[in-house]
Amino acid sequence: MEWDEYRDLIQSAGYRYNVPALFADADAFAAFCEDVLDPYDADEVDQVAGIDAIGFVPGAVLAWELDAGFVSVRKGGKLPIAEEHRISDSLVDYTGEEKTLELDTRMVDDGARTLLVDDWMETASQMTTALDLLERAGADVVGIAVLDVRGSAAPAGQPEASASGDAEENEVPLELDEEYGVHTIRPWHELGTPEREQ
């Protein structure tokens, strides 16, 4: 499906994109899953990780399709587990507000080839924080799957520059693209096993 079609489906009257509207459309949801899965084979991914909350929707589907386990990266305060098993980090995302992401380290198999999934990213703050938590827990992140709205026109009603800063500050750190196979191809970056220095 073309980016324009995705963009029309996720437009909103608010301050953020409305990706769940895309998921409600059966054809668009199927196209979305096919687009993002296309570069990957089940034998390349051990686990799929999704970011709370809407990232759980595509994350669960991709995990099923790849015959992989699903790892949930939770918003702060949601993990009812002992402190010793929990790692967390704070971030400031497109809203300009501080949030926390948490991970149960027992969910990540050491060295598990992990595909990190979310519904959309604008500043990539949540993505980079989830990525760091997964790596701290021992994951080998082999790709990032996300609807990439960096540099897009803002949703209706949203200023062009997000609450978190101006357009320049919203550029996703280049190392994320280079190391984890994120490309600015819309609607979905292509996934790929990153080339790592040995």
Ligand X SMILES: O=P(O)(O)OC[C@H]1O[C@H](OP(=O)(O)OP(=O)(O)O)[C@H](O)[C@@H]1O
In a 13 Å sphere around the CA of 151, the CA atoms on its Cβ side amount to 9
Tell whether residue 93 is a contact of ligand X (CB under 6 A).
Answer: yes
Tell whether residue 180 is a contact of ligand X (CB under 6 A).
Answer: no
Residue 123 Cβ, how far from ligand X at the closest point, in Å?
3
Tell whether residue 61 is a contact of ligand X (CB under 6 A).
Answer: no
In a 13 Å sphere around the CA of 188, the CA atoms on its Cβ side amount to 23
Residue 54 Cβ, how far from ligand X at the closest point, in Å?
4
The one among 21, 33, 54, 87 contacting ligand X by CB under 6 A: 54
For residue 14, what are the contacts with CB-CB under 8 A and spacing of at least 6? 155, 157, 158
Site string for ligand X, 114-133 (x = CB under 6 A): ----xxxxxxxxx-------
CB distance 197 to 158 below 8 Å: no
Instruction: Return the number of the residue (66 or 124) whose C-beta is nearest ligand X.
Output: 124
Instruction: Return the number of the residue (47 or 123) whose C-beta is nearest ligand X.
Output: 123
> What is the side-by-side order of every strand in the sheet holding 86-92?
86-92, 98-104, 69-75, 47-51, 113-121, 140-148
Tell whether residue 9 is a contact of ligand X (CB under 6 A).
Answer: no
- Crossing angle of helices 26-37 and 56-65, in 10° steps, is 60
CB distance 194 to 50 below 8 Å: no
Instruction: Return the number of the residue (122 or 177) whose C-beta is nearest ligand X.
Output: 122
The one among 53, 81, 153, 185 contacting ligand X by CB under 6 A: 53
Size of the site for ligand X (CB under 6 A): 15
Q: Which residues bind ligand X (CB under 6 A)?
A: 51, 53-55, 93-94, 118-126
